[in-house]
């Protein structure tokens, strides 16, 4: 498969990440540490590997933090430029707004990526399909067990998209919009400028109704929307375990990833793709599985942490059990607490000893 050398991309990173609070109260979702690096580092490294050379960031929420994190892109072998929306413009509006920074001609393909998707699909194959068929837009499609939560995308025998049914309760197919698009540059220029536009509800259905060729590129490779705490933790663990390869992973794949200054007792059990952040500590007798331990946090002896996020500088005391929990930055979970089932502890909160239990024994 040829490399689309010189391909330009737009990266949509304007959302507030409300489903991931409190993690996103101070950090945009695409910058959350994921398998040891900001989430977007994995997307940028993959795009670079497929021949992308220039990326336009479509920013809005905490826009300045993206430039602070990635600068001009030289560290990734990319040229990165930033276009900020003064007010959120929706997916289509954001793409149209970012297009002002593109340099490619009208007939060129433009890759559009969402800043909250992990995918193992072949970008070059998607671009090749788009170019060879002369499509207006080519959508990456994936199959899920419950398509009602996503945009349902039926296609005909030749791969042509016949409808775009956004989050319908009665999906006609389990193929969904996977959030990676190849647009013809000239098609982007037809999106209305300066107002809110949804590609899912307006742009794609409008192109289909007008008889334009909208293609589906379907495959069964790894795919995950990391928009919820459970999915975020899963995505990080899958990257560490090597279930999805990433050139940006700062170490070998395995049961755990220890970052600079992390201290893990030989008598602690740290498995399941856990990340132990810089200067974080896991004491003897602690058990951590499939979790994200942030910079400077502390997990005491006898604590159990499973499928959870422990925020920057947070403390988890002895005998505490966390299962599918988010502990905000600087929070302190006292001894004997038992938190589970999607609980979220806000930054700076202190839970005294045995304040929350889900079982009767103490």
46 annotated active-site: no
pLDDT at 1 over 50: no
pLDDT of residue 15: 72
Give the tens place of pLDDT for each residue, 297-309.
999 999 999 999 9
pLDDT at 360 over 80: no
Alpha helices in the chain (DSSP H): 39-49, 64-70, 90-98, 123-133, 185-188, 204-209, 229-241
Domains delineated in the chain: 7-225 (3.90.550.10), 255-351 (2.160.10.10)
Average pLDDT score over the chain: 90
**Cα distance between residue 263 and residue 253, in whole Å:** 19
- Count H helices and E strands in the chain, helices first: 7, 30
From 116-120, 215-219, 223-227, 356-360, the region with the lowest mean pLDDT = 356-360
Q: Which residue has the higher pLDDT, 204 or 18?
A: 204
8 Å CB contact between 190 and 164: no
- For 229-287, the DSSP string reads HHHHHHHHHHHHHTSS--TT-SS--SSEEEPTT-EE-TTSEEETTEEE-TT-EE-TT-E
Q: Highest-confidence range of 60-64, 131-135, 154-158, 163-167, by mean pLDDT?
A: 131-135
8 Å CB contact between 176 and 117: no
pLDDT of residue 17: 65
Give the tens place of pLDDT for each residue, 62-78.
778 888 888 888 888 89
Q: Of residues 29, 46, 167, 243, which has the active-site annotation?
A: 167
pLDDT of residue 321: 96
pLDDT of residue 336: 93
**Cα distance between residue 353 and residue 362, in whole Å:** 10
Confidence bin at 147 (pLDDT 50/70/90) = confident
8 Å CB contact between 76 and 45: yes
Among 188, 303, 245, 241, smallest CA distance to 46 is for: 245
pLDDT at 117 over 70: yes
């Amino acid at each position: 498969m040829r490399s689309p050398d010189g391909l330009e991309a737009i990266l949509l990173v304007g959302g507030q990440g409300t489903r991931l609070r409190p993690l996103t109260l101070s950090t945009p979702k695409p910058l959350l540490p994921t398998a040891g690096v900001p989430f977007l580092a994995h997307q940028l490294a993959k795009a670079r590997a497929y021949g992308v050379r220039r990326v336009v960031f479509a920013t809005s929420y905490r826009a300045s933090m993206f430039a602070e994190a990635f600068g001009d892109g030289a560290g990734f072998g990319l040229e990165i430029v930033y276009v900020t929306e003064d007010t959120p413009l929706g997916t289509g509006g954001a793409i149209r707004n970012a297009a002002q920074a593109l340099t490619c001609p009208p007939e060129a393909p433009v890759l559009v990526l969402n800043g909250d998707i992990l995918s193992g699909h072949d970008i070059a194959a998607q671009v090749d399909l788009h170019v060879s068929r002369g499509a207006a837009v080519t959508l990456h499609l994936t199959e899920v067990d419950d398509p009602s939560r996503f945009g349902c995308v039926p296609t005909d025998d030749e791969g042509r998209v016949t409808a775009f049914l956004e989050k319908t309760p009665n999906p006609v197919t389990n193929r969904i919009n996977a959030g990676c698009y190849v647009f013809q540059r000239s098609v982007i220029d037809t999106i209305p400028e300066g107002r809110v536009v949804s590609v899912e509800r307006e742009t794609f259905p409008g192109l289909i109704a007008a008889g334009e060729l909208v293609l589906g590129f379907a495959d069964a490779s790894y795919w995950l929307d990391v928009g919820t705490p459970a999915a975020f933790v899963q995505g990080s663990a899958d990257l560490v375990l090597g279930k999805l390869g990433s050139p940006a992973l700062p170490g070998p794949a395995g049961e755990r990833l220890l970052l600079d200054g992390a201290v893990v007792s030989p008598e602690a059990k740290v498995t399941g793709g856990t990340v132990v952040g810089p200067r974080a500590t896991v004491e003897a007798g602690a058990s951590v599985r499939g979790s994200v331990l942030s910079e400077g946090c502390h997990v005491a002896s006898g604590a159990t942490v499973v499928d959870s996020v422990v925020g920057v500088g947070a403390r988890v005391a002895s005998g505490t059990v966390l299962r599918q929990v988010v502990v905000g930055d600087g929070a302190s979970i006292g001894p004997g607490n038992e938190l589970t089932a999607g609980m979220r502890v806000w930054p700076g909160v202190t839970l005294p000893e045995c304040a929350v239990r889900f079982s009767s024994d103490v």
